[in-house]
Structure 1
Amino acid sequence: MKKSLSLLLLLVMLSAFDTHKELKWEAIGDSITYSNSHPEASQHRISIGYMDDVIKALPYIKYNNHGYPGWTAKSMAENMEKIGIEKAEIYSIFLGTNDWWVGLPIGTLSDYQDNTGNQTAYGCYRIIINKIRSLNPDAKIILMTPLQRTEYVDLNNPKVFIQGQNKAKEGVFLSQYADAIKTIAKAECFELADLYYKSGINLKNAVNFRRLRNPQTHEYKNYTYPHYIGIPYDPATDEYPYPVEAMNMTYDGLHPSDKGHAAIAKMLVKIMKRF
């Protein structure tokens, strides 16, 4: 009995000193990924991004930030040889929201399978993934669907306004880009962080409200979703519609707050802790 207890104690002590092998993570994305290392871009409305949240939970993972504001899958595909992507054990690809806004054709799975080039989202993902595989064919690849988004007004340039996903852009909905990314993940047996459908970030909680002038009284009023849709906003004369107290999962209708980044990280940690 004593021998068994001693052996058990020894195993517990050894496990306490057991350390996970360090893993390198190349995080590929747009402004949401970029913001992790650049809180000044949000006028410090955020303090931490999803990558830092992940490594707080999994400190043996070290990341490189390859996030570029405004980039689409096409932008990334065209620049994969120039941005210093390195060999790593983990790669994440978090794109799609800008593709929807600029109208990059989605294409079909055959564009991905046949490597048809950078004229469709499917084709662009093939170029990106080909580069990753050339660096490490055994790497873990995580595809991330775009976040749901409501009416966006740029905090640093309020003249920049983009409609929410409730309306189609050139006949296409943001959800269709999310579905394309899911299709690639399924075809390739990649890991999937399905942020669009499963992160808990949605049109109702993206922001608490938009502060706009009542069209009848011209007095400011806090409108919740969907009541603010269609109410005029003039950046030349009106206050920024998302004051700090309007922040919820995002701080501007699109870019995640600390709370939003934590929701993204939670999904990634669930995946990465298995590696």
Structure 2
Amino acid sequence: MTIKLNRPTNAFQGGSYRNELNQNWDMLEKWIDENGTDGLSDFLANNSTIGGEQLSRAKIVNLFDKLDIEKNTSLVNLTGGTTAAEGTNTSRFIKVTPGQIIGVTMNATMVGCYYDFQKQYIGMMQMTEAISEWYTQTVPLGVNYVRVVVIDEHLDSYMLSQQATMPEQYYEHEISMPHFNSSKLLSGSRVVTFGDSITWYDGKIVDGVLYRGYQAYMRQAGASIKNEGLGNLTFAPNTKASSMYEQIVTNQYDFTNFDIVTIAAGTNDVAFNVPLGAVGGRNDTVFDTNTSLGALRATIEYIRINYPRTEIYLFTPLQNETRDMDKHEVIANGIIAIADIYSLPRLDLFRMSGLGKYTFEVYTRDGLHPNNEGFHMIGKRVVRMMESH
């Protein structure tokens, strides 16, 4: 039987408009029944006039979808219509809620227009600077839709969000429907991710490319994410870069507000010749924190002793073609052994990510860091593995 969604009321809307909406809801319910919520954002963008922001209980940080725009057009502020404008893009009609604060990342007070439920022009969006690079306004009564204008150079950084505060990082337009996965581990979970540059990449623009890290797929599964990834990070202190031991233990990181912490590192320990050290015994409490495995054990001890309810997931490092993979395998085995001592779920990405011999050109940007296709493959597997524990 086709799943039934919580449709917004349309009793007061015109017959043809109401019928069009009902047809779209029927199509959407059939899609979810057959495919789940995976790929829902693409479906909405390409097949339906219903925007994802209209779905009851949908979580969307960025309402602006850079893939669903009218290219080389701008809005006429006094009429709400479009006009030709090279290098400028107009969004689709985006559903908003009267009385709700909306914010945009754009250094301008005039960013678009307001419309009613029939998409008839009401007025201009006149924003006020709340903080640097974050402009807000309360949606006026009678307004049901907005359209915004974004120039080409801002497409990969522009956000429109129904919140008063600026998001902590850039988020692409993506739809999370955690209530469809309420029995799953990640639904509603607060997750903090520690790791090296591969963890850091999420939401960053590198060489003109916006990267969606593995965390993007955790968010799609309903988790909220704080990214603590750092480039060149190692497990143990060294003379070349920061270490996770210092980041967490030395600085006494507070995990009070997190349900899950993920730890993904090791490749830079190999690159910087950090001593591997020993796994140690199950009952050991003193560790050589100048070694990779000793620092990892001390880090886990800190979290377990002080925050026993915070779940810890260990990821082994990805294979790459810039490091010694024999040494990678040794450190991966050490991470797995440590996970077993503390009964921690461990995701063996060294052996199960799909990145390996003959696939580096396809799934990495430089033989080391995944490209977006690589992150897509890894992210799906990370979520699947985490949900299976």
Normalised by the size of structure 1, how large is the TM-score? 0.66
* CA positional deviation for 1:19: 4.6
Equivalent residues of 1:25, 1:64 under 8 A apart? yes
Counterpart of 2:319, as a letter, is Q
Equivalent residues of 1:111, 1:120 under 8 A apart? no
* CA positional deviation for 1:132: 2.0
Specify the alignment match of 2:246 in structure 1.
Answer: 78
3-state SS of the aligned residue for 1:109? coil
Match of 1:63 among 207, 225, 235: 225
Equivalent residues of 1:206, 1:249 under 8 A apart? yes
Equivalent residues of 1:66, 1:83 under 8 A apart? no
Identity value in percent: 27
Counterpart of 1:49, as a letter, is G
Over aligned residues, Cα RMSD in angstroms? 2.4
3-state SS of the aligned residue for 2:228? strand
Counterpart of 1:182, as a letter, is I
Distance 1:131 1:203, change over 3 A: same
* CA positional deviation for 1:187: 1.8
Distance 1:18 1:177 in 2: 34
* CA positional deviation for 1:30: 0.7
Normalised by the size of structure 2, how large is the TM-score? 0.47
3-state SS of the aligned residue for 1:150? coil
Distance 1:137 1:97 in 2: 27
Equivalent residues of 1:148, 1:165 under 8 A apart? no
* CA positional deviation for 1:115: 2.6
* CA positional deviation for 1:83: 8.0
Specify the alignment match of 2:379 in structure 1.
Answer: 265
Specify the alignment match of 1:165 in structure 2.
Answer: 324
3-state SS of the aligned residue for 2:336? helix
Equivalent residues in 2 for 1:1-275 (5 A)?
19=182, 22-38=188-204, 40=205, 42-56=206-220, 58-59=221-222, 61-74=223-236, 75-80=243-248, 81-82=250-251, 84-87=253-256, 88-110=258-280, 113-151=284-322, 164-165=323-324, 173-207=327-361, 248-274=362-388
Distance 1:109 1:83, change over 3 A: closer
Distance 1:97 1:29 in 2: 10
Distance 1:83 1:267, change over 3 A: farther
Equivalent residues of 2:255, 2:307 under 8 A apart? no
Distance 2:344 2:381 in 1: 15
3-state SS of the aligned residue for 1:25? strand
* CA positional deviation for 1:142: 0.7
Distance 2:212 2:230 in 1: 17
3-state SS of the aligned residue for 2:340? helix
Moved over 4 A (4+): 16-21
3-state SS of the aligned residue for 2:217? helix
Distance 1:127 1:45, change over 3 A: same
- 1:102-154 CA-to-partner distances (Å, cap 9, x unmatched) read 11111111178333231111111122212322442022211000010113xxx
Distance 2:358 2:210 in 1: 20
- 1:212-251 CA-to-partner distances (Å, cap 9, x unmatched) read xxxxxxxxxxxxxxxxxxxxxxxxxxxxxxxxxxxx2110
Counterpart of 1:165, as a letter, is D
Distance 1:136 1:18, change over 3 A: same
- 1:182-220 CA-to-partner distances (Å, cap 9, x unmatched) read 11112222111111011111031111xxxxxxxxxxxxx
Distance 1:259 1:118 in 2: 36
Distance 1:18 1:66 in 2: 26
Number of aligned residue pairs: give it: 199
Larger Rg: 2
Equivalent residues of 2:247, 2:253 under 8 A apart? no
